[in-house]
Amino acid sequence: MKTLVINCGSSSIKYQLLTMPSSKVLAKGMVARIGDENATLSHEVEGDQLERELPVADHKAGMQIILQTLTEGDHKVVEKLSEIGAVGHRVVHGGEDFSSSVPITEEVSSAIERYADLAPLHNPPNLTGIRAAQSTLPDIPHVACFDTAFHATIPPVAYTYALPTELYEKYGVRRYGFHGTSHRYVAQRAAAILGIRDNDFNGITCHLGNGCSATAVRGGKSVDTSMGLTPLPGLVMGTRSGDIDPAILFFLESKGYDLAALNKLCNKQSGLLGVSGVSNDLRTLSEAASQGNQQAQLAIDIFAYRVKQYIGSYAAVLGRLDAVVFTGGIGENSAEVRASSCEELDLLGIHIDAQRNQSVGGPYAEIQASDSKVKVLVVATNEELAIAHDTFNVAQELTKR
Ligand code: ADP
């Protein structure tokens, strides 16, 4: 079955068309700058790239361009639209309502709309993408895959903030967690690499990209994660602060910062960018640090130190630890961050092999030293593939009904 995976942002639609269950990627690409006269389409088929600039009025027009590109012209991969059997949509926030991927009904759409309150930057464009895709492909199943779903198993002791209970009851203020599709995918891959069943796997998954989060996985289920009500807390990120003393915000308010300024400060101007004053991109920072920029080096050190703190904290939560798993652009590519995050963790039985850590390549690698009690894995994440699998499975279930 050909399965289309959609990840819709406020001005972009990323897509991938895969044949399932073989997981073959037929085409992938992105429409960016939606709403602009000079929007762009990038489309790739087996390494062959198509780049176009064109006006794209809205998300519906963007979807039509994607479907046209998949079915017409030199880069087409299907003869007709009816070959596409299902569409999987990445949705950021599913609140407490969804613990797995589900067919999108009117009720599901309403829930996504309701949770826009908690994810104002993400859920509205996700829903716009769903509506655009449903109107262009009305006769096939559309499936919602939530970033929060994998974390539905986190127990109250880990998701409850020590705030008055009425805030949870009235407004749903609690830890939800994000990047769930990636954490679940790499946890399952890690279990397969270790040769154990998913539900026997105890590990810490570290998704280190522009956004970063760590998850404690016990018996294949998420039991704690570093992001919270929103994606702001936890690890240091490209432009987000991660954990800070919340009273810093009250203090800055007394210095004249208003709410909008504080929001921008913590989400857009902090993290690697804020500390270094150079960039949110780790590659640029490593370059600057190697040329003697001390703030760039400090930013990288703080980043790795925080990852290490979470590894220690989640090791305590889990009790038994089979593996630490690194993924995401930084986790998969930065030997320096992996090495510093696992430095002097002998106490936990974690010991990296320097040579193996330097020569990581391919979809996964084991980088622990031979005397390490805990495996240390680098696993390339593939959220699109995980969404395609879920979508395929949900669509199969629907045909059985
Ligand atoms: P997103 O969260 O937007 O999907 P990615 O997972 O692509 O982001 O991660 C982006 C981060 O990965 C950037 O900080 C980038 O510098 C870093 N990165 C990508 N490739 C490398 C590399 N070869 N070495 C070090 N860092 C890298």
Helical (H) or strand (E) element with 224? strand 221-225
Query: The CATH number of the domain where 92 resides is what?
Result: 3.30.420.40
Looking at the fold, whether 219 and 347 belong to one and the same domain comes out as yes
**208 Cα to the center of ligand 1, angstroms:** 8
Position 131 in a domain: yes
CA–CA separation, 278 and 159 (whole Å): 35
Residue range(s) defining the domain that contains residue 209: 196-383
**Domain end residue (candidates: 105, 120, 146):** 146
Instruction: Note the pLDDT tens digit of each residue in 204-237.
Output: 999 999 999 999 999 999 999 999 999 999 999 9
Looking at the fold, whether 249 and 374 belong to one and the same domain comes out as yes
Start-to-end C-alpha separation, the chain:
18
Residue 121 has pLDDT above 90, yes or no: no
Do 26 and 41 meet the contact criterion of CB atoms below 8 Å apart? Answer: no
**51 Cα to the center of ligand 1, angstroms:** 23
Do 34 and 119 meet the contact criterion of CB atoms below 8 Å apart? Answer: no
Looking at the fold, whether 225 and 317 belong to one and the same domain comes out as yes
Position 257 in a domain: yes
Looking at the fold, whether 127 and 257 belong to one and the same domain comes out as no
Instruction: Note the pLDDT tens digit of each residue in 124-161.
Output: 999 999 999 999 999 999 999 999 999 999 999 999 99
pLDDT band, residue 72 (cuts 50/70/90)? very high
Instruction: Note the pLDDT tens digit of each residue in 358-368.
Output: 999 889 999 99
Position 169 in a domain: no
Looking at 117, 147, 245, 346, which residue is catalytic? 147
Largest CA distance in the chain: 64
Burial 228-267 (b: 16+ CB within 10 A, else e): bbbbbbbbbbbbbbbeeeeeeeeeeeeeeeeeeeeeebbb
User: Percent of the chain at pLDDT above 90?
Assistant: 96
**210 Cα to the center of ligand 1, angstroms:** 7
The question of whether 36 is a catalytic residue gets the answer no
The residue whose CA is least distant from atom 4 of ligand 1 is: 209
Number of domains in the chain: 2
Looking at the fold, whether 38 and 140 belong to one and the same domain comes out as yes
What angle is formed at CA 117 by the lines to CA 111 and CA 119, rounded to 5 degrees?
Answer: 90
Position 397 in a domain: no
CA–CA separation, 28 and 361 (whole Å): 22
The residue whose CA is least distant from atom 27 of ligand 1 is: 330
Looking at the fold, whether 221 and 96 belong to one and the same domain comes out as no
Looking at the fold, whether 246 and 354 belong to one and the same domain comes out as yes
Label residue 200 exposed, middle or buried (CB < 10 Å: 0-12, 13-18, 19+).
exposed
Looking at the fold, whether 70 and 142 belong to one and the same domain comes out as yes
Pocket test for ligand 1, best of 210, 276, 337 (most atoms within 8 A of CB): 210
Spatial CB neighbours of 173, under 8 Å, sequence gap ≥ 6: 161, 163, 167, 229
Looking at the fold, whether 128 and 216 belong to one and the same domain comes out as no
pTM for this prediction: 0.96
Position 333 in a domain: yes
At residue 77, the 3 state secondary structure works out as coil
Position 390 in a domain: no
Looking at the fold, whether 375 and 255 belong to one and the same domain comes out as yes
Looking at the fold, whether 202 and 141 belong to one and the same domain comes out as no
**163 Cα to the center of ligand 1, angstroms:** 35
Looking at the fold, whether 99 and 204 belong to one and the same domain comes out as no
pLDDT band, residue 401 (cuts 50/70/90)? confident
What's the full length of the chain, in residues?
Answer: 401
Position 204 in a domain: yes
Residues touching ligand 1 (Cβ under 6 Å) are 209-211, 238, 281-283, 328-330, 333-334
Position 327 in a domain: yes
| Average pLDDT of every residue of the chain | 96
